[in-house]
Amino acid sequence: MAPRLLAFLALVSLAPSAAAGVTKLEVLSKAPFAEGKSFGDAGPYVRITGRFYGELDPALAANKGIVDLSRAPRNARGRVEYSADFDLLAPAELGKGNGTLFYDVNNRGNKLLVSLLNDTPANNALDKAEQAGDGFLMRHGFMVLWSGWMPGLPKAPNLLRLEVPEAQGVEAAVWDEFLFNENKVALGRLSFAVADKKSARLTVRDRNGDAPSAIQAEAWEFVDERSIRLLPAGTPFRAGALYQLSYKAKNPPVAGIGYAATRDLVGFLRYGETDSVGNANPLGNFVKKTLAFGMSQSGRYLRDMLYNGFNETEDGRAVFDGMNPHIASARLFLNYRFAQPNRAYSMGYGFLGYPDASFPFSYARQRDPVTGKEDGLLERCKARGNCPKIVHTVTSTEYWQGGHSLNTTDPKGERDIALPENVRIYHFAGTQHVLSAMMPKGVCTGTPNTLIDPRPMMRALVLALDRWVKDGTQPPASVYPKIADGTLVPAAALKWPAIPGFTAARGPNPMAQFDYGKRIRSGVIERIPPAAAGAPYRVLVPAIDADGNETSGLRVPEQQVPVATSTGWSLRSGEAGGQGELCYVDGQFIPFAPTASARESAKDPRASLAERYGRRDEYEKRVREAAVALQGRGYLLGEDVERVVARASGLARFDAAQ
C-alpha cells in the first residue's frame, strides 16, 4: 500500500479519539410517557432516562477555554472524564415528530419547559398523565431533552446531576454572601469547604453601598468545614443584613465542563450513530434541527455558553440552530475557578460583585467605555459561522433587576443600537420574573404580580423560532422599549400615580463593575472580595402611563385592557430588613377599584373598572379584540385566544350585579 494512503488511513483512525465527546450513553429506563397518551399526529411518546459519559482532551482547541481543565486528573488516554444524567421525551414512532430536538437547560436540576409551555404544574418526575398538561410540545412533535450541567447538586430523585473532577493543587481565596429574610436562621452554608479557618474574615453591611463592618473573631465560628454561625451558639443572623465571608478553599470542581457536557450530548444525539461501546443513538437520524430553551439561571447559561464558544462540537459542527433565553439578561458564574453558578447579580439587593454581570451585555459588538475593549455575545460564533437564531424573551423584572436595557442600548445608555439579524427581543410588558411568588409572604411589599401571564405569547414565539431555523420564515418583529421613542427612560423620569399605600422604587439595580484582578479573562478571580471599579453603567427602564403600567413592549391582552397596575418589581418590607430595597424578583399587582365610589373612598387616582369599561361584557369584548389583534401579528396562537380571554375575565372584579 502506498505510504501516503497509509498515512491518510492512520489519520482517519485517529480522528474519533481526537474528538471523543460522549464515550458511552447508558439507557437506564424506557417507558411510555403520560401513561401512553396520544398527542395528535405525533402519537404516543416514550420517556428515556439514563446517564452519559464523556471525556475531554485538554489540548484540543474546542476545550482549551474550560477553566482548570488542564489541572484535572486524566485517564490512561490523557483525557478528563465526566458523567451526567439525561432525560428524553420522544415520539414512540420518531418519524411522526417534527424533527426538532428541543433542549431544556435545567434550572438547578429542575425541568421547566414542559410545565411552562404545556401549562401544567412543574414536576420533575414526569410520571403521570396530567404532567403532560395540554400536550403543546408533544402535539407539535418536539423531542424534548434535559441533562445535567451544574456540578454539586444534591443526590435527590429526578434532579439532573453532573459529576466532574476537581482541579488538583489549587488553593485560593473565595467569598460567599448571605442574606436572610427572617430573624431565625442560625447557620450560613458555604459554597466550598474551608481550607484555612484562621484567615477567614466575616463582615456585615446594611446596604450595598455601605462600607462593611468586620465581625470580630470571638463573635462567630465555623460549625464544620461548610458552615458558620454567630456566637453565642444559636444567635440568628440579622434579617436583611448583608453578610460576607472571605476564606480560603482548595481543589475546585472544573465547573466549565458543564458547557462541554451539553455540547457533547446534543452533538451525539444530532450527529452520532453509536457510542464507543456500540450503544445506538436512541434518536437515530431523526434530528434535523436543534433548539435550546433556558429560563432565568439556565437562560444565562445559554448566553454564556454562546459567548464562550461552545455552540460547536469538538469537530466544528453546530450544536444549536436556535436559542430562546428567557428572563435572562446577564451571563453565568460558571466557567471560572471556584465558580458559583447558583449566584446571580440580578437578585438586586445584595449579591453584588459576581462576574455574571460583566461586559459584554449585548449580542451586538460594542466598545466598553470602562476598559475600551470591543466585544459582543456573538463574537465567537460569528468567527466560526455557527451563530444560532435567537428569540430572547424578558419580563419587566429584567429591566429593573438585571440591567436588560444594556442589551439594546450602548453601554453609556445614550442611544439605541441595532440588533444583529439573527436576534429578536421581546419584552413582556408589566410582568414579573415567574408566575409565582419567589419570596415568603411578608418579605416583599404588595401582592405579587402572578396574574399577568406571558406564556401564551411564548408558545407562539417558540413555534416561530422553529419555523425560522427550518425554512427561514422570519419571526414577528422585535418589541421592546427604546430611547428614540421615549419608551426607555431613566427611573427618575417615571411619574407614578399616588396609589394609597404604594411606594415607588428609587431606581433599578445599578449595574456596577468590579476589579477581579489581572487574570479574570482566564477565569481566575484574584481580588477577594472584588472592589468596585469605575462608574456603574447606565441602566434604563420602561416608561409608564398614568396608571403606572408600561407603555411599550409586547402587551398581553390583560395588560392592554388593564384591571390593575402591574409591575416587575417590589420593595422589601420593614419586617424583612433592607426596607425600601428592591425585593428579589417579585412584582406587584394593584387592582383598580370596581366603581367610582369605591375609588373615591380609597382616594385612588386611577379610574375604576366601571368608569373604564362600564360592564363586564364590554371588558371581555375589548380583551378578545386585543387577543385577536395579537394573533394577526403572529404573537398569539389561534388555539390560545379563548384561553386568554377566559383568564383575563377572571382578573376583573366588577360588582356582582355586573
Contact 655, 594 (CB under 8 A): yes
Task: Evaluate if residue 198 carries a pLDDT over 50.
Answer: yes
Min mean pLDDT across 248-257, 340-349, 397-406, 529-538 is at 340-349
Mean pLDDT of 229-258: 96
pTM: 0.95
Going by pLDDT thresholds of 50, 70 and 90, the confidence category of residue 512 is confident
- Read off the pLDDT of each residue in 480-503 and give the average, rounded to a whole number: 98
> Given this model, what pLDDT does residue 283 score?
98
pLDDT for 339 beyond 50:
yes
pLDDT of residue 350: 66
Cα–Cα distances in Å, from 469 out to 102, 219, 323, 465, 475? 12, 59, 10, 6, 10
Same domain, 126 and 69: yes
* Cα(367)–Cα(369) distance, integer angstroms: 6
Local confidence band at 209 (pLDDT 50, 70, 90 cut-offs)? confident
Cβ proximity of 641 and 632 under 8 Å: no
Residue 570: is its pLDDT beyond 60? yes
Q: What are the start-end ranges of the E strands in 313-421?
A: 322-326, 366-367, 374-375, 389-395
pLDDT at 648: 92
Q: How confident is the model at residue 513 (pLDDT cuts 50, 70, 90)?
A: confident
Query: Quick one: 238 and 264 in the same domain?
Result: no
Same domain, 241 and 317: no
Cβ 282 vs Cβ 143: under 8 Å: no
State yes or no: pLDDT of 15 exceeds 50: no
pLDDT of residue 349: 67
**Span 41-48, mean pLDDT?**
98
* Residue 18, pLDDT score: 40
Exposure string of 11-50, with b = 16+ CB inside 10 Å and e = fewer, is eeeeeeeebbbbbbbeeeeeeebbeeeebeebbbbbbbbb
Question: Is the omega angle on the peptide bond into residue 73 within 30 degrees of 0, that is, cis?
Answer: no
Within a domain: residue 590?
Answer: no
pLDDT digits 0-9 by tens, 281-290: 999 999 999 9
Q: Is pLDDT of 641 > 90?
A: yes
Asked if pLDDT for residue 81 goes beyond 80, the answer is yes
Provide φ and ψ at 305, rounded to 5°.
-60, -45
Q: Is residue 275 part of a domain?
A: yes
Q: Which residue type does 335 have?
A: N
- The one-character DSSP state at 320 is -
Instruction: Note whether residue 55 is domain-resident.
Output: yes
- Beta strand 80-91 with 100-105 is unpaired
- Say how far apart CA 428 and CA 554 lie, in whole Å: 5
Asked if residue 21 and residue 97 are part of one domain, the reply reads yes
Q: Which domain holds residue 81?
A: 13-164+254-391+406-421+458-471
Angle at 171 between CA 167 and CA 177, to 5 degrees: 100
Q: What per-residue confidence (pLDDT) applies to 8?
A: 32
% of the chain beyond a pLDDT of 90: 90
Q: Which of 635, 649, 466 is nearest to 561 (CA)?
A: 649
The average pLDDT across 328-340 equals 96
Confidence band for 14, pLDDT divided at 50, 70 and 90: very low
CA distance 405 to 408: 6
Which residue did the predictor score with more confidence, 632 or 347? 632
Give the tens place of pLDDT for each residue, 17-40.
345 799 999 999 999 999 999 999
pLDDT digits (tens, 9 = 90+) for 528-554: 989 888 888 999 999 999 999 999 999
Mean pLDDT of the 307-318 span = 97
Residues 153 and 195 in one domain: no
Q: Based on C-alpha coordinates, what's the Rg of the chain?
A: 26
pLDDT band at 346 (very low <50, low <70, confident <90, very high): low
pLDDT band for position 354 (50/70/90)? Answer: confident
- pLDDT tens, residue by residue, 433-469: 999 999 999 999 999 999 999 999 999 999 999 999 9
User: 342 CB contacts (<8 Å, ≥6 apart)?
Assistant: 108, 191, 297
Q: Looking at residues 517-521, what average pLDDT do you find?
A: 94
**Residues 121 and 239 grouped into a single domain:** no
pLDDT at 3: 37
Q: Flag whether pLDDT at 636 surpasses 60.
A: yes
> Is residue 269 included in any domain, yes or no?
yes
Number of structural domains the chain divides into = 2
The predicted model gives 265-271 an average pLDDT of: 98
Query: Any alpha helices (H) in 118-256, and if so which ranges?
Result: 136-139
The vertex-156 CA angle with 154 and 159, nearest 5°, equals 90
Tell me: cis bond preceding 456? Omega within 30 of 0 counts.
Answer: no
Taking the CB of residue 634, how many other CB atoms lie within 10 A of it? Answer: 17
Same domain, 220 and 305: no
The burial class, CB within 10 Å (0-12 / 13-18 / 19+), for 73 is exposed
Neighbouring residues of 597: CB distance < 8 A, sequence distance ≥ 6: none
Length of the chain: 658
| pLDDT for the residue 232 | 97
Provide the mean pLDDT of the chain. Answer: 94
Nearest to 260 by CA among 56, 25, 52, 80: 56
Q: Is residue 566 part of a domain?
A: no
219: cell is 463573635
pLDDT of residue 381: 97
All cell numbers assigned to 643 = 384561553
- Indicate whether 6 pLDDT > 50: no
Rounded CA-CA distance 407/346 in Å is 14
Check whether residue 149 and residue 291 sit in a common domain.
yes
Cβ-contact 76, 111 below 8 angstroms: no
- CB atoms under 10 Å from CB of 93, counted, come to 13
Nearest to 122, CA basis, from 654, 113, 542, 359? 113
Q: Quick check: 418 pLDDT over 60?
A: yes
Domain match, 91 and 194 both: no
Which domain-ending residue is among 198, 224, 250? 250
Q: What pLDDT score does 344 carry?
A: 80
Mean pLDDT for the stretch of residues 506-527: 93
Residues 244, 285 share a domain: no
Same domain, yes or no: 243 and 268: no
Answer yes or no: do 225 and 147 share one domain: no
Asked whether residue 352 carries a pLDDT value surpassing 80, the answer given is no
Would you say residue 76 lies in a domain? yes
Residues 6+ apart with CB under 8 A from 389: 321, 322, 323, 422, 465, 468, 469
Q: How far apart are CA 412 and CA 368, in angstroms?
A: 9
Q: Beta strands 100-105 and 143-147: pairing type?
A: parallel
- What 3-state DSSP class applies to 610? helix
Domain end residue (candidates: 250, 267, 285) = 250
Q: Where does a domain end: 431, 446, 471?
A: 471
Mean pLDDT, range 133-155, rounded to an integer: 97
Residue 631 lies in a domain: no
Window from 39-48, 255-264, 326-335, 648-657 with minimum mean pLDDT:
648-657
Residue 564: inside a domain:
no
